[in-house]
């Protein structure tokens, strides 16, 4: 038998488009909120008990996607006919057909469906008495009812109105809710509860409307776990993956113990550069790198951590074209997707005007990779961490059914599913209290909050950070600000190395009472002499007054470290320190 190989599809002769944003993008077939209501009415009530299997096609609307092409498969089957076998076939033996998985890792290929979870399908057999599953009786759950107070749409800004969401133990049986304590607090399926999965699928369709037929979603315990599980699904020790040259350190730290290395791809103010991606792949030298050409691109397209950059619609199309050319799978990690803001227009920018309608809001969002993924090569990671609460530990992936199925199989025997307690709270909030429209209102509220925070930080930078040595592009999404520092102007430049200067600036910040992260901490391949130097600031949670003061101290620290006179702020000292 031939050994499993990872043959790459030869690059096609396509041109990488210029890196500029010149086009707009309209999402076809977007599910509307009215459409959800109609679909629900047609389907009738969802009754899903303990560990019930979910009918994803029903949640997607059975026929809605039928006209779309199917996703590519990643376990390409090869019919390999061994010459000897042909000889045998032609009279002396038999034909052997073997299947080689081209993209999935050996670990993923060894996974089998969980036998115990699979037995859940028989629970709906009429009249069956289960002596099978080791699921405890809800009689022994020491929870009868819970009540959670939440803000209601219309008063998110002033928080004057609240509602109390209640869940009882047997609401489902009593017909007062589709989800209850008895169901949610028991074991569930790897993809999460059917009740909440339905909401997630509808939300995904409202926002992204994936352009192929067999897309699916499965819940995760957050994107950190999805990165780890996703890498295990596709990579083996000795492999490389690709990411922005500055990236979320957890992704690198998750890859390292798996024996997987991360190769950085050049970025600019508009995020990952398609040409740089193409170049890294086209010039990949297995002997020099000590590993095969990568086929996983991990990217954070919106409000990237740490650079704060957001890829435009055009940039995403260019990157997607390169992904097609080199046959990549894209991990689209998007915790900051809904924190897209109006552009910063300078000191004291006027408050942003909110979109006039939900439709305008959705149209204003940069299209996701998922929404342009005609091939089914994107695994999108969503998370409630940055828009609801990180402690919920609930997120989901969207990808082709084949990829999602592999993920579920892994979840069934590892994370199982996100906490049922979390799922029930989120279900009560997003399904029963806010619904899809209320959630969009919340996202609008949250993004306005972050816009105000960002503006405070950028105003403070304008006022206090010396532009003779520091420069930046205002972030258009997320919670990070990335400041470039021209260390060639540092007094020690030439006599000590780059790393020492970075450390000296970092320590100057600490001495002056402010903390910013070193850029080199986000560099998967480390930084070399001559590489640009950056520091990351965040406006995520610090009180507004402290943001101003922290940035003032940062400016002071830079002046101190670079030996600039106090009061020297702009290139020519014309901006006074306030
Ligand atoms: C790019 C990125 N991905 C994922 C996460 C973590 O997401 P989760 O809380 O869903 O694990 C973070 C958090 O900082 C992040 O910046």
DSSP secondary structure, 528-572, as one string = -TT--EEEEEE-SSS-HHHHHHHHHHHHHHHHHHHTPPTT--STT
The upper half-sphere exposure of residue 86, i.e. CA atoms within 13 Å in the direction of its Cβ, equals: 5
Q: Of 197, 199, 195, 163, nearest to 182 (Cα)?
A: 195
Q: Does 566 or 21 have the greater pLDDT score?
A: 566
Intra-chain end-to-end CA distance of the chain, in Å: 75
Q: Give the Cα separation of 433 and 165 in Å (integer).
A: 7
For 109, the token pair is 């290929």
Over residues 261-271, the mean pLDDT reads: 97
**In the prediction, which pLDDT does 25 show?**
57
Out of 219, 250, 524, mutate this one to test ligand 1's pocket (max ligand atoms within 8 Å of CB): namely 250
CA of 534 to the centre of ligand 1 (A): 21
Over residues 187-208, the mean pLDDT reads: 95
245 Cβ inside 6 Å of ligand 1:
no
385 Cβ inside 6 Å of ligand 1:
yes
395 Cβ inside 6 Å of ligand 1:
yes
335 Cβ inside 6 Å of ligand 1:
yes
**In the prediction, which pLDDT does 576 show?**
40
Question: Of 59-63, 92-96, 512-516, which has the strongest mean pLDDT?
Answer: 512-516
Under the banding of pLDDT at 50, 70 and 90, the label for residue 577 is very low
Under the banding of pLDDT at 50, 70 and 90, the label for residue 570 is very low
At 118-127, the pLDDT tens digits run 777 777 788 8
Query: Which helix H or strand E contains 456, and what residues bound it?
Result: helix 435-464
Cα-based torsion angle of the residue sequence 186, 43, 121, 415 in order, rounded to the nearest 10 degrees: -40
Q: Does 57 or 533 have the greater pLDDT score?
A: 533
Which positions ≥6 away from 131 have C-beta within 8 Å? none
Under the banding of pLDDT at 50, 70 and 90, the label for residue 524 is very high
In eight-state DSSP terms, residue 432 is: I
Which positions ≥6 away from 440 have C-beta within 8 Å? 358, 361, 362
At 452-482, the pLDDT tens digits run 999 999 999 999 999 999 999 999 999 999 9
Q: Which atom in ligand 1 lies closest to the alpha carbon of residue 390?
A: 9
CA of 261 to the centre of ligand 1 (A): 19
In this structure, is the dihedral angle defined by the CA atoms of residues 65, 108, 386 and 453, taken in order, positive or negative? negative
**pLDDT tops 80 at residue 29:** no
HEC-encoded secondary structure of 280-303: HHHCCCHHHHCCCCCCEEEECCCC
Under the banding of pLDDT at 50, 70 and 90, the label for residue 26 is low
For 491, the token pair is 């007094």
In eight-state DSSP terms, residue 90 is: I
Under the banding of pLDDT at 50, 70 and 90, the label for residue 91 is low
**In the prediction, which pLDDT does 489 show?**
96
- Triad 440, 443, 444: Cα angle to 5°: 90
Helix, strand or coil, per DSSP, at residue 176: coil
**In the prediction, which pLDDT does 220 show?**
98
Over residues 261-283, the mean pLDDT reads: 98
Under the banding of pLDDT at 50, 70 and 90, the label for residue 182 is very high
Q: Which atom in ligand 1 lies closest to the alpha carbon of residue 395?
A: 10
433 Cβ inside 6 Å of ligand 1:
no
248 Cβ inside 6 Å of ligand 1:
yes
Range of lowest pLDDT (235-244, 327-336, 373-382, 558-567): 558-567
Q: Give the Cα separation of 69 and 65 in Å (integer).
A: 9
229 Cβ inside 6 Å of ligand 1:
no
**In the prediction, which pLDDT does 569 show?**
53
CA of 223 to the centre of ligand 1 (A): 6
Q: Spell out the alpha helix ranges (H) of 158-312.
A: 171-174, 181-184, 194-207, 223-234, 249-255, 274-282, 286-289
Radius of gyration over alpha carbons of the chain, in Å? 26
Q: Give the Cα separation of 306 and 82 in Å (integer).
A: 51
Q: Which atom in ligand 1 lies closest to the alpha carbon of residue 384?
A: 10
Under the banding of pLDDT at 50, 70 and 90, the label for residue 16 is very low
In this structure, is the dihedral angle defined by the CA atoms of residues 426, 427, 431 and 436, taken in order, positive or negative? positive
Over residues 324-333, the mean pLDDT reads: 97
CA of 477 to the centre of ligand 1 (A): 15
Over residues 259-274, the mean pLDDT reads: 97
Over residues 224-248, the mean pLDDT reads: 98
Query: String of b and e for 52-85 (b: at least 16 CB within 10 Å)?
Result: bebebbebbbeebbeebeebbebeeeeeeeeeeb
Under the banding of pLDDT at 50, 70 and 90, the label for residue 47 is confident
520 Cβ inside 6 Å of ligand 1:
no
**In the prediction, which pLDDT does 97 show?**
46
Over residues 562-567, the mean pLDDT reads: 82
Which positions ≥6 away from 120 have C-beta within 8 Å? 51, 52, 53, 133, 189
**pLDDT tops 90 at residue 327:** yes
**pLDDT tops 90 at residue 100:** no
**In the prediction, which pLDDT does 72 show?**
93
Strands 296-299 and 329-333: parallel
Are 263 and 525 spatial neighbours (Cβ–Cβ below 8 Å)?
yes
**In the prediction, which pLDDT does 300 show?**
98
**pLDDT tops 90 at residue 312:** yes
Under the banding of pLDDT at 50, 70 and 90, the label for residue 102 is confident
Which positions ≥6 away from 388 have C-beta within 8 Å? 426, 429
**In the prediction, which pLDDT does 373 show?**
97
Strands 296-299 and 271-272: unpaired
**pLDDT tops 90 at residue 87:** no
383 Cβ inside 6 Å of ligand 1:
yes
Length of the chain: 578
192 Cβ inside 6 Å of ligand 1:
no
- Give CA separation, 133 vs 172, 185, 239, 400, in Å: 21, 15, 39, 30
- Closest CA to ligand 1's atom 12: 335
CA of 427 to the centre of ligand 1 (A): 21
391 Cβ inside 6 Å of ligand 1:
no
Taking phi first (over 0 means left), then psi (-120 to 50 degrees means alpha), and beta for anything else, what does residue 566 get? beta
**pLDDT tops 90 at residue 377:** yes
Over residues 132-142, the mean pLDDT reads: 87
């Amino acid at each position: 038998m031939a050994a499993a190989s990872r043959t790459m599809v030869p690059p096609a002769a396509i041109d990488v488009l210029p890196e500029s944003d010149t086009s707009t993008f309209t999402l076809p077939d977007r599910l509307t909120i009215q459409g959800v209501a109609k679909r629900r009415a047609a389907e009738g009530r969802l009754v899903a008990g303990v560990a019930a299997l979910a009918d994803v096609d029903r949640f997607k609307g059975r026929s809605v996607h039928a006209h779309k092409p199917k996703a590519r498969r990643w376990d390409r089957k090869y019919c390999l006919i061994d010459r000897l076998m042909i000889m045998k076939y032609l009279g002396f033996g038999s034909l052997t057909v073997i299947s080689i998985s081209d993209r999935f890792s050996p670990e993923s290929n060894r996974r089998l469906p969980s036998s115990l979870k699979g037995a859940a399908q028989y629970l709906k057999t009429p009249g069956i008495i289960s002596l099978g599953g080791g699921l405890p009786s809800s009689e022994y759950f020491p929870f009868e009812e819970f009540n959670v107070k939440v803000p209601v749409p219309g008063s998110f800004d002033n928080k004057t109105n609240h509602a109390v969401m209640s869940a009882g133990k047997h609401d489902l049986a009593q017909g007062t809710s589709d989800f209850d304590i008895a169901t949610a607090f028991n074991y569930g399926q790897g993809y999460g509860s059917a009740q909440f999965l339905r909401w997630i699928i509808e939300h995904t369709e409202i926002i992204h409307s994936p352009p192929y037929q067999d897309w699916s979603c499965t819940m995760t315990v957050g994107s950190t776990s999805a990165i780890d599980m996703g890498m295990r699904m596709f990579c083996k020790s000795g492999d490389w993956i690709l990411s922005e040259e500055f990236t979320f350190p957890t992704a690198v730290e998750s890859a390292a113990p798996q024996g997987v290395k991360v190769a950085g791809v050049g970025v600019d103010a508009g995020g990952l550069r398609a040409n740089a991606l193409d170049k890294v792949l086209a010039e990949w030298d297995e002997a020099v790198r000590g590993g095969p050409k990568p086929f996983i691109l991990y990217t954070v397209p919106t409000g990237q951590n740490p650079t704060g950059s957001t890829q435009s619609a055009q940039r995403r199309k260019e990157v997607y074209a390169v992904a097609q050319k080199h046959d990549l799978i894209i991990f689209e990690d998007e915790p900051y997707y809904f924190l897209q803001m109006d552009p910063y227009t300078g000191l004291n920018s006027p408050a942003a005007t909110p979109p006039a309608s939900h439709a305008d809001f959705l149209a204003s969002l940069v299209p996701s990779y998922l929404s342009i993924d005609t091939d089914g090569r994107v695994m999108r990671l969503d998370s409630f961490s940055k828009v609801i609460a990180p402690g919920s530990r609930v997120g989901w992936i969207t990808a082709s059914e084949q990829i999602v199925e592999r993920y579920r199989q892994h979840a069934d025997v590892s994370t199982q599913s996100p906490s049922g307690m979390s799922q029930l709270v989120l279900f009560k909030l997003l399904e029963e209290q806010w619904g899809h429209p209320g959630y969009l209102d919340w996202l609008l509220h949250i993004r306005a909050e972050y816009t105000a925070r960002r503006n405070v930080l950028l105003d403070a930078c304008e006022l206090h950070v010396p532009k003779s040595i520091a420069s930046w592009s205002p972030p258009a999404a997320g919670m990070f600000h990335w400041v470039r520092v021209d260390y060639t102007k540092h007094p020690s430049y030439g006599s000590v190395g780059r790393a020492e200067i970075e450390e000296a600036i970092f320590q100057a910040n600490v001495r002056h009472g402010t903390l910013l992260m070193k850029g080199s901490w986000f560099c998967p391949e480390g930084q070399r002499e001559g590489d640009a130097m950056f520091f990351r600031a965040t406006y995520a949670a610090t009180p507004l007054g402290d943001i101003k003061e922290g940035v003032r101290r940062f400016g002071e620290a830079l002046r101190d470290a670079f030996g600039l006179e106090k009061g020297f702020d702009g290139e020519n000292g014309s901006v006074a320190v306030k």
